[in-house]
Amino acid sequence: MSRKLKEKAVHRLSSEKGTVIKRWGRKVTVALVYPNTYYVGMSNLGYQQVYYLLNQREDTLCERVFLPDREDMDEYQRTGTQIFSLESQRPLRDFDIIAFSIPFENDYLNALKILEMGNIPLMAAERSEEHPLVIAGGVTTFLNPEPIADFIDLFLIGEGEEVVNQFIDSFIKNSNGDKQEMLSSLSKVEGAYVPSFYQVAYKENGEMESFLPKGKVPKKVKRRWIRDIDSAPTISRIFAHDTEFSGMQLVEISRGCGRGCRFCTAGFIYLPPRIRNPKKILNDISGQWSVASGKSTHIEKVGLVSAAVSDYPFINSLCAPLIAKGKKVSVSSLRMDSTTDELVDALKNSGHKTMTFAPEAGTERLRNVINKGISEDDILKSVEMAISRGILNAKLYFLIGLPAETDDDIEGIVKLAKRIKKEVLALTKEAGRIGTITLSINPFIPKPWTPFQWSPMEDVKSLGNKLGCIKGALKKEGNIEVNHENPKDSYLQALLSRGDRRVGRVIRKALETGSWSRGIKDSQVDTDFYVYRIRNKGEILHWDFIYHGIEKGYLWKEYERALKGKFTPPCNPPKCHRCGVC
């Protein structure tokens, strides 16, 4: 092992607060792998939550593994060092379980790279009893795990708080048998999905013909979700300097969203929406302050995490005590129809210089198509609310390539930006200061488990033309900036989120060639088939085997309502039963 790499790991550990170090021996050992760098992984609240849950068990030892920093890759290769865990610097092969936490599809390639660097066979079928069990969880796995199905022994589909302990109990009970016997036993854990226990057949046209279980495993794998959200506080457990949110404590204030925006996975796979008790949140936050004591990890801000922070009904009673204790409050983006004066005041007092909103579309007609449910007046009022309190910069998220989109909708983005500049930023001139409007424009990606799962993604060239039109129209407008994602990157994400097991060949070829474009070419997989094709109503979708509780017929009805421009009001659990979850 490289001394240089080991010293870097030890240095990182010394700068952390809240790390769990356990002695090896007579414990189930889990390498919890985040398929990206330490900087990114330690900023992920879900990853920290699973680390905490596993280490709460006396019979389990969990250590972290990350994709090496780019500047360290040459050292790994030069010294022949296998990738190792942070806490004990042990190689992957020493662990009983390698558990991937994968929130983003684009990290699939990194997951394979980590297995390769750990000298672990990539294909599940090539691994024997002498190798660790390779499992995976995270939001991508309960959207559609099929593109990486050939590389993973077992997936845990659902929320970790509900399934992790039952899985470890079953593993301990059945770890003495051979691998197939163990997998057979583990597959009985609700939410466990063993890809090798299912046979997939395809039609001549490439569509799925059947997805059938082999033996006594369920036809559908039930997504696990926790009913009592207050019983499992989701909060930063480890505080470190070298992360995106250094000096910030993240806390989840709610999970799921009942708004039903038709492009948004979080609005469907996390149903029903669950709200945390504000007093419980404040107690949990205070309990962690002592853990983070120390100059290098002083908590200055509390980051509120939710699908829609401004929809949280107790937001004012949560922010006020934090501000009173000298803490600053941070949020990602806000809904424009539920942002309050009190919340904006709290953000102003916390030093926010930019407010972030997500209109998503440039016209009210298209916002009805996607079920956003906000008017242009809502948009202007929200921006005015921020600017009147001295928050002079606004960041606005938009999607292009949405179903039923027209040239008028693209022009609507331009007109809306200009109207905000004219009618709202004029307020800043009175104070002698000029703010900036930043448009963040991303191509729409039709995702599984949304009403738009049947839709195609728009052609990359067409998306590029639309981006060109927007940038060209705003090029000479001062104080308006336009940022956007490359449509080719969006194409890749669409492929990985909508693909089946055949797409695994693309990922493996990309690993071999070091290039996604070469991987697509060398795999000889028709990737347009997954990205640009309209799905039929009766078609078997690659992710249909997962049971979220949502009726497929309900999603189809929402798809039809979308194409007619009909708005659907937010759900109201437990009174609402229209989607089938409640």
User: What's the CATH code of the domain at 322?
Assistant: 3.80.30.20
pLDDT band for position 296 (cuts 50, 70, 90): very low
- In this structure, the answer to whether residues 197 and 290 fall within a common structural domain is no
Q: Is residue 297 part of a domain?
A: yes
290 pLDDT higher than 70: no
Based on the domain organization, do 207 and 321 belong to the same domain? no
With contact defined as beta carbons under 8 Å apart, do 236 and 288 qualify? Answer: yes
User: Looking at residue 292, what is its pLDDT?
Assistant: 63
Domain end among 189, 222, 255: 222
> Average pLDDT for residues 36-53, to the nearest whole number?
97
Q: How far apart are CA 558 and CA 553, in angstroms?
A: 9
* Tens-place pLDDT, residues 187-221: 999 999 999 999 999 999 999 999 999 989 999 99
Q: Is residue 126 part of a domain?
A: yes
Asked whether residue 321 is domain-assigned, the answer is yes
Question: Could you give the number of structural domains in the chain?
Answer: 2
Alpha-carbon distance of 437 to 441, in angstroms, equals: 13
Same domain, 215 and 253: no
Query: Which domain, by its residues, includes 352?
Result: 247-499+550-563
| 325 and 379 inside one domain | yes
| Residue 199 sits in the same domain as residue 331 | no
Are both 215 and 252 inside the same structural domain? no
CB atoms near residue 209 (< 10 Å): 12
Answer yes or no: is 89 within a domain: yes
> In this structure, is residue 401 part of a structural domain?
yes
From CA 149, how far away is CA 102, in angstroms rounded?
Answer: 13
Q: Answer whether residue 286 is part of any domain.
A: yes
* Proportion of the chain above pLDDT 70, given as a percent: 97
Same-domain status, 168 and 292: no
* Among candidate residues 178, 207, 222, the one where a domain is terminated: 222
Mean pLDDT of 537-564: 96
pLDDT, position 293: 62
Last residue of some domain: 170, 187, 222? 222
Q: Is residue 234 part of a domain?
A: no
Q: Does 524 fall in a domain?
A: no
* Overall average pLDDT of the 144-155 stretch: 98
User: Do 260 and 304 belong together in one domain?
Assistant: yes
Q: Report in angstroms the alpha-carbon separations of 265 from 316, 448, 516, 521.
A: 27, 7, 25, 29
User: Helix 315-324 and helix 341-349: axis angle, to 10°?
Assistant: 30
pLDDT at site 298: 64
